[in-house]
Each structure stands twice: as C-alpha cells, then as structure tokens.
Amino acid sequence: MQPLSPLDGRYAKSVDALRPFFSEEALMRARVEIEVKYFIALSQLDGVRELKRVNRTQEKALLGLAEYFNDRAYQRIKGIERVTKHDVKAVEYYLKEKSAQIPGLKHSLEFIHFGLTSEDVNNLAYGILIHRALRQTIQPFNQSFLSDLRKLATSTKNIRLLSLTHGQPATPTTLGKEMMVFASRLGRQLDQLKKFHMQGKLGGAVGNFGAHRAAYPEIHWEGFRQRFVRSLGLIPLEFTTQINPHDDLAELSHLMSRISTILIGFSRDMWMYISRGVFRQKVVKKEVGSSAMPHKVNPIDFENAEGNLGLSNTLFSHFAEKLPISRLQRDLSDSTVQRSVGVAFGYHLLAVQSLMKGLGKIGVDRAAVKRELDAHPEVVAEAIQMVLRKHGIAGAYEKLKALTRGERVTKESLRRVVSTLEIPKGEKARLSAML
C-alpha cells in the first residue's frame, strides 16, 4: 500500500520517534494497558467480592499483554474489529481470549471492561500516550533546538547588526540579542509544556458511574476514580458527560500553537538574515540548490520548517476549536479528529529537526554585517538626538530629522555635525565613536 501522507512516505524516518505513541498499533496497545490496569485495580477493591484479588503471577501476565504487545496481537484485534465494527470492543474480546489462558482468571473474564464506556478507555489511552510523546520526543527535541539557539546567541552577542523596523534601517542591535529574543520566548513556552498534564475521565456511559453503582452501590467510586486516574499520571476529572471534554487537549493545542508560531517567526527572520547576507550557508559539494541555477544555496531548512509548522498549527487550531464541543452527553465527531493528533505532532517534530539542521549549516559573515551597518550611518541619529535632549537643547529631534530623514548621509558629514554641537567634548567623542 502506497503512503498517502508524506509523514509515512518522504518524511517517514524523520518522524519514526513518534510512532510508538501515535500509530494505530500504539493506540491499541495503550487501550490494552488501560484495560488490564483497570481490571487489576478492580480486583484490589474490597467491595468487589466476586472478583478475586489478582496475584503477582497473574498481574505480571496481564501487564505483559501490554508490555509485549506486538504486530501479531494488533492484527488479532483488527481481525476481531472486522466483525464487531468497534475497536474498543475488539480489545475487550481480545483480552478475554488472552486472560482465559492465564491460570485462575477464567471465571473472572466479565470484569474486563466492567462498567466502562469506550471513552473511559480511549481518553485515558490518549492521555498516557500524549504524556509519553511529550516527555520522550517533543520536549527533548525542542530543548535540544533551544540549546543550539542559545549557543548561537552567546557566540554572536558582540556582533553589532543593523536593525530593520518596518523594513527600514533602524538603531543598531546585536545579533546575539536578536537570537535571545526567540530563545527566551521559546524557553518560557517549553517551561509551560514541561508542567502540562493531561486529564482523565472515568465514569461510565454518562459520567455518573451509573453501571458501577447498579452493581456495587456501596462502593465509593469517586475515590476509586481519583486513585486510578492519578496512578496513570493524569489529573482526574470530577464532572463529565460520557467523554473527557478535551479541555486538556485544547490547552495543549494552544500551547503547541504558541511554540509553533514563535518558531515560524524565527524561520522567517533567519530566511531574511540569510537573504541579507548576515548568515552564509555552508556549501555541501554534491548538493544541488536549484535545478536550473548552479550558483544557488537555498535556505530550504528554514523554508521547510515554516511550511511544516504551518501545517501543524492548522491542526492544533482545529483541535482547540473542535474537541471541547460535543452535543449533549456525547457525539462522535471528536473521535475521528483525535486520530490526527499524531499528525500535528509529526509536522511539528519535522519542523524542529529542519531548524536544527539549518542552524548547523550557517555561519556569520562578519564582513557583510559590517558593510551593511557602515552603509547606514544615519541610524545613529537616535543616539545623537537623545544626547542633545539630555543637555537641554531645544528641538533636538527636529534638528536630526531635518538632517537625516530620507537623506543619504555619510559618517564624515555626521562627524562634522557632531563636532559643532553645543555639548561637552567627552559626549562629542562618544558619539563620533559610534560612527
């Protein structure tokens, strides 16, 4: 079967790190994990007398169904699903098959998926998978990029650079400071990502433990929910309909969108710095920049990053707007949307890798940076007029405006102007040194 998405074709290797969390097989495995852990937790409730407490050997065997889940297990569940037309029910039937082979569990099979609705399993499965993807892949890659960016900022902190505001020459800055603008913004968002936690819903068909109470009215099911959901590393939801309302995914989507938007801005600025000659790109001998123009060395890594971040952002924006809305106690429109969560993370990961690659291929052209700055001595006008104001010279701004706005000036002409100013000699020398 030919891949439809470039994430499974051209870019497959680049996003392999996400497959353990967002492939359909990964989701099936997570469902198995939730179901067996729920079964074990039920067996430990004193009030569920009809279910014998799972012993260590049985627990190891049950957890092994998730730990050693493989393609054969996945294909068996898919085979059952072709009959049931329901993926979570297929997981239940699969687990009953496997659990019947574990000594001592044959008469306890009806406690698999006991009182649960599909969303109890699905939302918890997505929750643990997203946590793992964030901790093991998304955060490490972003932190690695942030580290590279901070190194670039440190190495260029003393390189004076011509600013452009509204695309026009402006007060000089330093290249390192401009890199730190993005590093500090990204760092703040990654700190929030590190603290983020998914929520977990457990409450049956309409969120009120109706089926659970029908069987065991004396059990405090809310306390059980708290303990079980927290054991998965998720935040328990107290009031829900049939589904997790997905406010957690909306919060995460907004956070990922902010990260991606910062990186889009960085990609575009790097593209422009390369275009201006601030950065030169390393030439790889056998690479081709253009199929027609032999001289070209294109900033493709930053262009690819911008494009893929846009795709990721579009999906995350849709998740944030769509997922928290469900008709009355439940509709199924969220289910098909959730299946593309991995795609959004995939394009984000692809983009971060492109940015890291791009940073590894650039170097500062100090001569070009100096030439550009030297070509625009008029940008010192702001500093001159501020010194004039400091010494109480009336109309300082207007004087410099008349001298420089829209005019081509030289360092020499500005030095002559500075020499005539009615300010202390030390100030004159300091302003001249800026030119």
Which residues are identified as catalytic? 166, 290
> Facing residues of 362 across strands?
281
Hey, what amino acid is at 405? R
Ramachandran sector of residue 168 (left: φ over 0; alpha: ψ -120 to 50; beta: rest): beta
- Nearest residue to 243 via CA among 122, 338, 340: 122
Contacts of 22 (CB under 8 A, 6+ apart): 129, 133, 341, 342, 343, 345, 346
Q: What is the DSSP letter of 135?
A: I
Judge contact between 228 and 271, C-beta under 8 A.
no
Strand spans (E) along 148-205: 160-165, 168-174, 199-200
Q: What is the DSSP letter of 112?
A: T
Phi, psi (degrees; rounded to nearest 5) at 341: -55, -40
Helices 118-133 and 87-99 sit at what angle, rounded to 10 degrees? Answer: 90
- Nearest residue to 62 via CA among 88, 31, 90, 36: 36
Helices 341-359 and 139-155 sit at what angle, rounded to 10 degrees? Answer: 20
Q: How far apart are CA 420 and CA 405, in angstroms?
A: 20
Q: What is the DSSP letter of 406?
A: T
Helix (H, G, I), strand (E, B) or coil at 161: strand
Contacts of 157 (CB under 8 A, 6+ apart): 174, 175, 176, 177, 180
Burial tier of 269 (Cβ tally within 10 Å: 0-12, 13-18, 19+): middle
